[in-house]
Amino acid sequence: MLEGMDPRPVGMFDSGVGGLSILREFRRLAPRERTVYFADTAYFPYGPRDPGEVRKRAFAITRRLVEADAKLIVVACNTASAAAVADLRQLFDIPFVGMVPAVKPAARASRSGRVAILATPGTFDGDLYTSVVEEFGRGTAIDRVVGHDLAELVERGETDTPAAREAVRAALAGTVANGADIVVLGCTHYEFLEPAIAAEFPGVTVLGTGEPVAKRACALLAELGLEAPPDAQGALDLIISGNREAFLETLPGLGFAPREAAEAQP
């Protein structure tokens, strides 16, 4: 395959709409690439599920994306990355891009020396999170904040509503009062809550991973000679394991209006 001449799609998956925060950045940076996005809404949310169950779903979805001829897969979910990305790389002969909370840049940028990580229980329980904190969080006070029901709000399209404002205020008020000056978004769903967090805590810096992960995917495509042909036209295909209509109804409020037909996954 010649460099820049691989028309196959990039695969991407999450339990619901959260991974679209990665997809929007990827489409901005790589508009020629076709993407197959798997929304596993039948099993949403991943956060409170047993890691073994999340791993099983990650394997099944990866097989489906491989069947769709994906050339690279982005695990656009922190919980699934924590539970499965290491095993996926072992079992499948395809490049993967996973998610880790932005502990390193947060620790470097914090003026107070205290950083809040807003994530799901599944992300905090994984070895991946522990290793990242041990390597990059030394000398920084790390507050682990579980985002109860935040992903559910985003999944319903409530990203900057009074309910969303109240939820982020309840989750983060304590750690901000204790001096945290940076909030790291450790769940792709939470990326859509950045406006609400910024409005509630104007003095706090919010760090997401949408753009860095999208940049890593683009860099890996270039390194491996997997970029789309120069004359390719980007497209988005959707696979939805649960309620197709509910998922599609949420998209406009998140800045998406895909015209492509969504394929329902049995």
187 is catalytic: yes
Instruction: Pick the catalytic residue from 187, 197, 207, 236.
Output: 187
Q: Could you give the 3-state DSSP secondary structure of residue 114?
A: strand
If asked whether residues 61 and 144 sit together in one domain, one would say: no
Type and span of the H or E element at 150: helix 150-155
In a 3-state reduction of DSSP, which class is residue 191?
Answer: helix
Domain that holds residue 38: 10-99+211-264
Looking at the domain assignment, is residue 1 inside a domain? no
* pLDDT per 10-residue tile (average), the chain, 266 residues: 76 97 96 96 94 96 97 96 95 95 90 94 80 84 92 93 94 97 95 94 94 96 95 92 92 74 46
Residues 216 and 92 in one domain: yes
Same domain, 55 and 178: no
Query: How many helical (H) and strand (E) elements, i.e. helices and strands, does the chain have?
Result: 11, 10
The residue from 160, 188, 208 where one domain ends is 208
Judged by DSSP in three states, 124 sits in: helix
Instruction: Please indicate, yes or no, whether residues 67 and 110 belong to a single structural domain of this protein.
Output: no
Show which of 163, 191, 208 is a domain's final residue: 208
**Exposure of 180 in the CB half-sphere (CA atoms within 13 A):** 24
Q: Are residues 167 and 217 in the same domain?
A: no
Flag whether 4 is in a domain. no
161/83 Cα distance (integer angstroms): 31
Does 203 share its domain with 237? no
Same structural domain, 74 and 126: no
Give the pLDDT score at 96: 98
d(CA 13, CA 48): 18
State yes or no: is 77 an active-site residue: yes
In a domain, 3, yes or no: no
Assess whether 77 and 145 both reside in one domain.
no
Residues 118 and 191 in one domain: yes
Domain of 200: which CATH number? 3.40.50.1860
**Same domain assignment for residues 142 and 173:** yes
Candidates 10, 22, 39, 77; catalytic one: 77
**Residue 115: both structure tokens together:** 């950083």
Q: Give residue 3's pLDDT.
A: 52
pLDDT at 173: 97
For 129, phi and psi rounded to 5 degrees?
Answer: -60, -45
Number of Cβ within a 10 Å radius of residue 214: 23
Are 240 and 160 in the same domain?
no
2 located within any domain: no
Single out the residue in 170, 193, 208 at which a domain terminates: 208
